[in-house]
């Protein structure tokens, strides 16, 4: 079993807003949620700590998410920056608490990263020993950064990656569903990120903000959870022009497993995995498209976004839990990817970026 480094999981969102105890078995959580209709994906969750270990996910990027964009986004939207900041600090406290319990462990520097990789060098043994899952802290949408002093506070608390936008018109950037460039505050934020060494996550940026951000920022870039516009026509995906620019910058794109971003013509709220036949095989089309543009396998990884406001009702038909991401190995192998390629896609490519950012 290969180690998986999943670079986008909204664990604290599930714990605090969906009220899921991720230390429980997944079937128990599903059973507890039967009959609930307050939030999308009730009883259909795919992620727990146990399932992550089963799937060899010994390392992840764990998000904070709390915005005040207008109009309000589909999740984690508040009326003011101070409220959004409060939410993200509660999320940070959650990650710290589950780390105290031994379920997770923070990864903030190269020394902690290498120690975690040594702990998980045999993912099967690590899972059996219930080894802690490493978490790198990222902020999805910057609205909660009240002012740039708060960015420094966040860095001191372990923040190592940041995506300036989510949905809607944010305080620092336009989301992918908006048209427009960076406001002055966004330009200053990105300069400060560069100064601190916080990785720029370009996922969710509007096209104009994407290009402007890359013009300003000189450090390490990744796209935590983004697929290909050439395969699914939507501004949430990246165009070939954007992907080529990211490749030139040495970036890596995390393949995302939200079904509407995997196949064309998915109608949210109507389509189902059964009606469309969407499977893990379809994500390999996106992976392969990026590899063909790059001429190698060095610029794609996994940023699953599983349980990011949806569940099995909007996931691949052949994915019951996050542990099934391991089945990508066989699919990639049949497509001609060798062991080294697969290890890179599963973890190595994003690990290379982290080492570059932190060395």
- Give residue limits of the domains in the chain: 5-358
Written as six digits, the tokens of 135 are: 């978490």
- Phi/psi for 111 (5° steps) reads -60, -45
Neighbouring-strand partners of residue 139: 64, 162
Other beta carbons less than 10 A from residue 137's beta carbon: 24
Tens-digit pLDDT profile for residues 16-30: 999 999 999 999 999
Q: Given this model, what pLDDT does residue 75 score?
A: 75
- Identify whether the C-beta of residue 4 lies closer than 8 Å to the C-beta of residue 55: yes
Those residues with Cβ within 8 angstroms of residue 137's Cβ, 6 or more apart along the chain or in another chain = 61, 62, 64, 92, 95, 106, 108, 157, 158, 159, 160, 161
pTM: 0.97
Q: What mean pLDDT do residues 190-204 have?
A: 98
Q: Given this model, what pLDDT does residue 68 score?
A: 86
Spatial distance between the Cα atoms of 310 and 297, rounded to a whole number of angstroms: 29
- Identify whether the C-beta of residue 144 lies closer than 8 Å to the C-beta of residue 67: yes
The residue written with tokens 């319990």 in the block is 101
List the beta strands (DSSP E) in the chain: 5-9, 59-64, 104-106, 133-140, 159-163, 199-201, 221-223, 252-255, 300-302
Spatial distance between the Cα atoms of 261 and 237, rounded to a whole number of angstroms: 7
CA distances 356 to 116, 190, 250, Å, are 17, 19, 10
Q: Length of the chain, please?
A: 359
Those residues with Cβ within 8 angstroms of residue 286's Cβ, 6 or more apart along the chain or in another chain = 227, 228, 231, 255, 262
CATH number for the domain formed by residue range(s) 5-358:
3.20.20.140
Mean pLDDT, the chain, rounded, equals: 97
Neighbouring-strand partners of residue 5: 59
Tens-digit pLDDT profile for residues 57-84: 999 999 999 988 887 767 788 899 999 9
Written as six digits, the tokens of 246 are: 């990211």
Helix axes 207-216, 184-196, angle to 10 degrees: 40
Judged against a pLDDT cut of 90, whether residue 268 lies above it is answered with no
Q: What mean pLDDT do residues 25-36 have?
A: 97
Q: What is the DSSP letter of 293?
A: H
Q: Given this model, what pLDDT does residue 77 score?
A: 84
- Identify whether the C-beta of residue 158 lies closer than 8 Å to the C-beta of residue 134: no
């Amino acid at each position: 079993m290969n180690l998986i480094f999943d670079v986008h999981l909204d664990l604290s969102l599930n714990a605090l807003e969906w009220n899921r105890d991720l230390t429980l078995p997944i079937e128990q959580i599903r059973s507890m949620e039967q009959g609930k209709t307050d939030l999308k994906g009730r009883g259909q969750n795919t992620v727990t700590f146990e399932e992550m270990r089963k799937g060899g996910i010994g390392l992840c990027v764990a998000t904070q998410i709390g915005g005040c964009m207008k109009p309000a986004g589909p999740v984690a939207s508040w009326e003011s920056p101070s409220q959004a900041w409060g939410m993200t600090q509660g999320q940070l406290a959650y990650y710290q608490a589950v780390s105290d319990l031994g379920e997770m462990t923070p990864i903030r520097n190269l020394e902690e990263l290498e120690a975690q990789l040594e702990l998980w060098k045999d993912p099967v043994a690590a899972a059996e020993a219930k080894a802690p899952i490493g978490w790198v802290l990222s902020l999805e949408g910057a609205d909660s950064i009240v002012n740039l002093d708060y960015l420094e506070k966040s860095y001191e608390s372990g923040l190592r990656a940041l995506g300036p936008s989510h949905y809607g018109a944010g305080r620092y950037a336009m989301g992918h569903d908006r048209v427009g460039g960076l406001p002055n505050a966004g330009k200053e934020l990105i300069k400060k990120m560069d100064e601190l060494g916080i990785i720029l996550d370009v996922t969710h940026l509007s096209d104009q903000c994407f290009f402007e951000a890359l013009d300003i920022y000189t450090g390490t870039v990744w796209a935590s959870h983004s697929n290909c516009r050439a395969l699914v026509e939507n501004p949430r995906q990246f165009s070939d022009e954007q992907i080529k620019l990211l490749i030139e910058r040495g970036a890596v794109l995390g393949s995302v497993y939200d079904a509407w971003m995997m196949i064309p013509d998915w109608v949210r709220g109507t389509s189902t995995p059964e009606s469309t036949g969407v499977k893990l095989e379809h994500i390999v089309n996106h992976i392969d498209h990026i590899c063909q543009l790059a001429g190698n396998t060095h610029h794609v990884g996994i940023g699953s976004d599983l349980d990011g406001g949806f569940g099995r009702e909007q996931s691949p038909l052949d994915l019951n839990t996050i542990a099934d991401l391991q089945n990508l190995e066989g699919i990639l192998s049949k497509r001609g990817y060798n062991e080294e390629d697969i290890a890179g896609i599963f973890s190595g490519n994003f690990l290379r970026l982290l080492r570059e950012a932190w060395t």
